[in-house]
Structure 1
Amino acid sequence: MIKVLSAGALATVQDLGRTGGLHLGVGTSGAMDPLALAAGNILLRNEENAAAVEIPVFPFKVRFERTTVFAVTGADCAARIGETPVLPCWAHRAEAGQLLSLSHPQQTTWRATRAYLCIDDGIDVPAVLGSRSTQLRGSFGGHEGRPLRDGDELPTGRSSGRAVPGFGLMPPGLLLPLEADGVPAVRVLPAAEYDCFTNSSQDALWSTAWKITAQSDRYGYRLAGRELNPLRPLELRSHGIVPGVIQVPHGGQPIIQMRDAQPSGGYPKIGTVIEADLWRLGQAPIGSNIRFIRCSWDEALSASADIRRWLANARRLVELHCGEGGGR
């Protein structure tokens, strides 16, 4: 068990998400950076879908109520056990009663804003509709369907004894960089209504930087930049959407649907961030700029293959270090 001593704001329990329910009106939820969560679970030799704590606001502090092995992935937030620095994306041993504190993310070559606290055998909250992820809009899943508060106690799974401290991985943000003209970028497929926008709006989508505004959260990222205008007024019936869809409301400033987005909407869709780049978007700081890179379906599939290759290599490295029968 771990006890939350300082929750910051909007820290939640998340796994890789709730799939198969969009047609029933149930959103996906899950980690905003699923690659960071998977990396932490690989390090600890957990199931890759084991639940962890997603931390978007700092400082954050917990106390370990039993001896365990843990990893902090995602943002480099100057983690410490007591006064001892903790390396990011590294498996560490914590003794019962020790405190883990996370500070504001460091300004490094890999700019990230969300950290993930992964624990040996995961956070053991009940699965709801096949997932332990917190769905804030519906107030279910995770820990009582809400953000964590000071004093919350989170049960952890029964240790398998497979997690081995003293080993780490190179963060994917450093190994898989993507920029356009020096600005962090994500790849985008043109969407259903792309051809309904003016040529100048289409050009603006690809050629300009877009600011992630303060009105952004797990539901959606509201962007600021050049106005995107349709050739003629568009009135659409609500229809199914997924995380990554870029909608353009009447004001002409796009919104990217994120992990807690509703499963339907009626604004025209100009593009969709490919699934392989959603983790990049999930780590983009509020107030920063991003660029969109147009890609093809084949390029999107190739990007997904790159992610699978990175995960496979991470598993292989951990097993080489720990050995098939590795333990503490």
Structure 2
Amino acid sequence: MMEILSKSALTTIQDRGRFGALKWGVGTAGAMDSLALACGNLLLGNSEDAAAIEIQVFPFEARFDSDAAIALTGATCEAAVDGRVVLPWSSVRVTAGSVLRLGLTRSARWRGARAYVCVAGGIDIPIVLGSRSTQLRGAIGGLEGRALRQGDKLRFGRPNDARCAPDGTSIVPPAFALPLMSDGLPAVRVLPAAEYGCFKPESQSDLWLKPWKVTPQSDRYGYRLSGPVLEPVAPMELRSHGIVPGVIQVPHGGQPIVQMCDAQPSGGYPKIGTVIEADLWRLGQAPIGSSIRFIETDWDGALHASDEVSRWLSDVARCLDLAGARRVRS
């Protein structure tokens, strides 16, 4: 069990997400950086659907009431257990009474926006509509459907000690993470969407050639971006229709909104593009106030990117299995 000691806002419990509930008007939720969550669970030998803590406001502090193995992934943090430094993207064993503290580092050029604290066995809370993820809008899942508060106590599931990586094992984040453009900005790949051809040619060019700033109005529901005004050839009125995370909608003001994990399942704004699923975790790590770029891709490119992520995760799992085997032999 662990107790939340800090008052960090918007800290939630998330797993891979809630799939199959869109027909009931319930979004997917889940980790904004699914790759970081997956790596944390791999380090600990957890099932791929184990729940963890997603932190986006720092500092964060928690005390462990029992011995446990934990893993820290996602945003680069100043992390320590009882003052002992913990490396990013690594696992560490803690003892009863230990206190974990996370704070944003000032040195990293791109430190990310969200960190994940995974525990061996996962966070043990009830499954709601197939997931433990917190959907703040609607108060579904998680701990009472809300963000975590100071004083909350979280139970752990049963750990799989045989598959847990040795203490101090680290993962090098993937080389394909956050590719930088010539101006140093990170980029995500985008498929042109249904109404792409309904926008003026200069707006189509601006989508790919100009930087887009993540505004303070952005959250887990959607990233509201600031940049050139995207103008349609003619005014458009659409009926509400199904949308999914990654869809880039353009409201009347011409400033795009990227639907994120907690997005509503329907909307009526025209769609100019869709961030590919393989890059959503990259976008989820873009901090408020940072700028990003969009790179045009096609269906084959999106499938190749998905395969690339799957292969990388498979390689990580294989390497961790080897590390565990060496520990057993020694």
Say if 2:240 and 2:268, in contact at 8 Å, map to a contact too: yes
1-structure distance, mates of 2:106, 2:244: 31
- The structure 1 residue matched to 2:242, chosen from 240, 251, 267, is 240
- Identity score, percent: 59
Could you report, residue by residue, the CA deviation over 1:60-95 in whole angstroms, capped at 9, with x for unpaired residues? 000011101101100111110011111111110100
Find the residue that maps to 2:122 and give its secondary structure. Answer: coil
AA of the residue aligned to 1:219 = Y
Deviations 1:262-286 (A, max 9, x none): 0000000000000000000000010
Structure 2 equivalent of residue 125 of structure 1: 125
After the TM superposition, which of the residue ranges 104-113 and 12-21 deviates more from structure 2? 104-113
Is the CA contact 1:12–1:147 (under 8 Å) kept in the aligned structure 2?
A: yes
SS in 1 for 2:134: coil
Higher mean displacement: 145-154 or 317-326: 317-326
Report 1:250-269 matches (<5 A). Answer: 250-269=252-271
Distance 1:305 1:298 in 2: 11
Matched ranges for 1:1-328 at <5 A: 1-162=1-162, 163=164, 164-172=166-174, 174-181=175-182, 182-323=184-325, 326=328
TM-score (normalizing by structure 1): 0.97
- Residue-pair matches, total: 327
Deviations 1:28-79 (A, max 9, x none): 0000000000000001111121100000000000001110110110011111
Alpha-carbon distance in structure 1 between the residues aligned to 2:208 and 2:176 = 24
Provide the aligned C-alpha RMSD in A. Answer: 1.5
Question: Residues 240-274 of structure 1: CA distance to partner in whole angstroms, max 9, x if unpaired?
Answer: 00000000000000000000010000000000000
Q: 1:60 to 1:194 in 2, by over 3 A?
A: same
> SS state of the match for residue 78, structure 2?
coil
Structure 1: stretches of 5+ with no match in the other structure:
none
Q: Quick check: 128-137 or 103-112, which moved more?
A: 103-112
Q: Is the 8 A contact 2:12 2:54 kept in 1?
A: yes
Change (3 A) 1:110 1:171: farther
Question: Does the CA-based 8 Å contact 1:180-1:293 persist in structure 2?
Answer: no
Deviation sequence 1:126-178 (CA, Å, 0-9, x none): 10000000010010201110000000001111222232312111023x55341
> In 1, distance between residues paired with 2:224 and 2:168?
40
* Structure 1 pair 326–117 and aligned structure 2 pair: CA distance change class (3 A): farther
Q: Is the 8 A contact 2:77 2:111 kept in 1?
A: no
Shift of 1:184: 0.3
